[in-house]
Amino acid sequence: MKKLILIPIVFLFIIILASASSYVFEQNEAVDLKVACVDEVEQPCNATIHCNITILYPNGNTLIDNQPMTYGAVYYTYSLTSDQTSTLGEYSVNIFCLGTGNGFSTFTYEITETGESAGEYRFAIYLIIILSWLLFIIGMYKVEYTFVALAGIIMLVAGVYILINGLDNFDNTLTIAFGAIHSLFGGYLMIRAGWEQYKDAF
């Protein structure tokens, strides 16, 4: 019976990425991968447990090959430099710990241009853009300048948002150009619709 008690405990790992609960990080930014290690009775692992990490690029090549993680009172940590987060895509992570018992865990994380996962806000921002153009078309068709002005306001706000945050998970020259054109066109519609309403009023 005592021998059974001495059988090594297989540790359970809870993966906690402090920088983002959705496992998504921004391109060219330093990242701390943090992993909490607990045993079967949910007690934290002690410093005698050594954990190594292996990370694979999206194409399957090795980024980090079985390197030791840093032990802390709460987490085991491995720090990635900005150079190690330059490639976009989904990375695979394997963690193996040795000590009183053996533990193994795997997870993935994603590197995107904005630090947001693909499609995280896709529906909302695309719906706003489509709504603004529908209002513009209806306003022009019915010669209803209130609709055109409202479309201009929505386009301006959406354009400024895209300039600041990018579009979807992209933040590059193309999204900047799209945001700038959208906001400028929206501003023009606001001014033009206001001027037409002013002329009609007087």
The dihedrals phi and psi of 121, each to the nearest 5 degrees, come to -120, 20
Q: Concatenated DSSP letters for 12-29? A: EEEE--TT-TTSEEETT-
pLDDT at 180 over 60: yes
pLDDT for the residue 126? 82
Q: Dihedral of CA 13/18/24/29: which sign? A: negative
For 100-147, write each residue's pLDDT tens digit.
655 677 888 888 877 766 555 566 788 888 888 998 898 888 888 888
Q: Tell me what percent of the chain is helix, strand and coil, each rounded to the nearest 5.
A: 40, 30, 30
Share of the chain above pLDDT 90, in %: 14
Q: Parse the chain into domains and list their residue ranges.
A: 8-112, 122-201
Domain 8-112: give its CATH code. Answer: 2.60.40.1930
Question: Predicted confidence band at 177 (pLDDT cuts at 50, 70, 90)?
Answer: confident
Q: Quick check: pTM over 0.85?
A: no
pLDDT for the residue 63? 94
pLDDT at 74 over 80: no
Looking at per-residue confidence, does 76 or 196 come out higher? 76
Question: Predicted confidence band at 54 (pLDDT cuts at 50, 70, 90)?
Answer: very high
Question: Predicted confidence band at 56 (pLDDT cuts at 50, 70, 90)?
Answer: very high
Total residue length of the chain: 202
Looking at per-residue confidence, does 170 or 191 come out higher? 191
pLDDT at 20 over 70: no
Looking at per-residue confidence, does 117 or 36 come out higher? 36
| Bridge-based pairing state of the strands 103-112 and 24-26 | parallel
Q: Which of 117, 25, 34 is nearest to 78 (CA)?
A: 34
pLDDT for the residue 79? 92
Looking at per-residue confidence, does 63 or 101 come out higher? 63
